[in-house]
Amino acid sequence: MPQLSVRQLALLSVLTAVSLGIQLTPRPPNVEFTSLFTFLVGILYGSLVGGFFGGFVMFVNGFLSPWGFAGFIMPFQIVGMAIIGFAGGTYKRYVVGVHPAQVSAEVAVLGAFLTLLYDTITTVGVAVQSTIIYGIPWHISLIATFSAGALFYLVHIVSNTALFGSGLIPLIKALQRVPGGEALWSKKELLHSQH
């Protein structure tokens, strides 16, 4: 784990609280902001913190979600969201010198892909659960679950594509000012005292 300054740690705590707050608020099915925040944390703090952040939010969500206790699906949700955080940190390495418009387009595509990956992982979880509980062959259960959930995936992927494409860059720009912002704030205080 990287060493974090107090300010970075405080921001991370705020982001965790915001993600959990939104995640636990009743909302339309499969419209969520946790993926966006997890990817963002991955970009700001690196793959490990991003992965841990996503996993932690889904762990708490597993117990307190308005949809009820996640149960058997929880480990799959944790892994799926951790991958999104990890991907954020990995993508950061390839983004230097790229035009912001291109980054927006790329993260929109990444958002769609990672959401699909997350949905696939959780679908595997549901299929395995059906196999254990109802004794349905797991591949049949997987195909049936993958087909039955199509409209949910559609909503999830479309909403996350839009969120990643339009929200990530403004969020990065806003949040990058907070950690290591002593110089900026001192300058503001100085300006304030001069008036």
Residues forming the site for other proteins (CB under 8 A): 94, 105-106, 109-110, 112-113, 116, 120, 143-144, 146-151, 153-154, 157
> H helices within the chain, ranges in order?
6-24, 34-45, 47-64, 74-92, 100-134, 138-148, 150-175, 182-194
Nearest distance from residue 178's CB to other proteins, in Å?
30
Minimum CB separation from other proteins for residue 23, in Å?
Answer: 23
**Can you say whether residue 90 is alpha, beta or left, with left for phi > 0 and alpha for psi between -120 and 50 degrees?**
alpha
* Nearer to other proteins (CB atom), residue 152 or residue 185: 152
Shortest separation between residue 50's beta carbon and other proteins, angstroms = 19
User: Which residue, 132 or 154, is less far from other proteins as judged by CB?
Assistant: 154
Residues near 78 by beta carbon (within 8 Å), at least 6 away in sequence: 54, 55, 58, 59, 62
Of 150 and 190, nearer to other proteins (C-beta) is 150
Burial class (CB in 10 A: 0-12, 13-18, 19+), 169: middle
* Cβ at position 38, least distance to other proteins in Å: 18
The dihedrals phi and psi of 169, each to the nearest 5 degrees, come to -65, -45
Cβ 131 vs Cβ 141: under 8 Å: yes
Beta carbon nearer to other proteins, 9 or 154: 154
Nearer to other proteins, 15 or 84 (CB): 84
Min dist CB 152 to other proteins, Å, is: 10
